[in-house]
Amino acid sequence: MKVLVIGATGDVGRGVLTACLARGWETVAVGRTAEKLADLAAEYKDERLSTVVGDLASEKTTAALADAVDLESIHAVVVTVSGPWSPTPVRDCGWDAVSETFDRLLRPHVNAARVLLPQLPSGATYLTVGGGMADAIFPGMAPVAMSQAAQRNFVRAWHKEHRDAPVAVRQLTIAAMVNGLSTREVAGPDWLTDTEIGSRISAILADPQAFPGPVLNFSVADRNPA
């Protein structure tokens, strides 16, 4: 198994990376900066891990990434990209704020699906990570919630319109806060850890037919008992 993890230096990306390597899979970590990827490689020190600088900012940069990683050799793609948002009351969110959020949070997922999915080999899995605010609205987070809901429906539409495609399309919606490298000091017991998320994603990649989806939810209630 060879897995491409896009957004590998983020909290969820690291969890996916760790789980894939633990299963003995060859893993390609994609990030926007060479420095962070070099730190990642030095941290893991695993010969099965390789790194590629790239991003999903446009279809052009996404196509360049596809060329750099040789998609024909990839068995699974995991897209974990996201971004920060400063809470803003919905009454203060004009269309410019909403469209900027969509551009920053949704556009990369649209670019990835349009460019990468058609190039994946038969039997591959394409999995994108979404957020639980698609269903749970928190004060000040309306544009993010709208973007996450749109991402989920985009995945559903792709799946429905390409039922006969040879690639399994899935989204794992994380319905919880994430306890990762950047949040470890403030995380509570009701936060899902990067390890838990990575383990669930690797299980889906190992047997996507056991997780028919296309949209799958993962919350604290879904945890395996200790």
Q: What is the mean pLDDT of each run of 10 residues along the chain (226 residues)?
A: 97 97 98 96 96 97 96 97 88 94 96 96 97 90 95 96 92 94 92 96 97 94 72
Sorted by where each starts, the structural domains of the chain and their CATH numbers stand as: 2-222 (3.40.50.720)
Alpha-carbon span 189 to 222, nearest angstrom: 14
Question: What is the pLDDT at residue 70?
Answer: 92
- pLDDT score recorded for residue 86: 87
CB 204 within 8 A of CB 172: yes
- CB neighbour class for 81 (10 Å; exposed up to 12, middle 13-18, buried from 19): buried
Q: Is the pTM of this model over 0.85?
A: yes
* Cβ burial, residue 124 (10 Å; 0-12/13-18/19+): buried
> Which among 34, 74, 30 is positioned nearest to 55, based on CA atoms?
30
| Residue listed under structure tokens 């030095």 | 42
26 has which bridge partners? 2
In this structure, what are the phi and psi dihedrals at residue 97, rounded to the nearest 5 degrees? Answer: -65, -40
In this prediction, residue 225 carries a pLDDT of 53
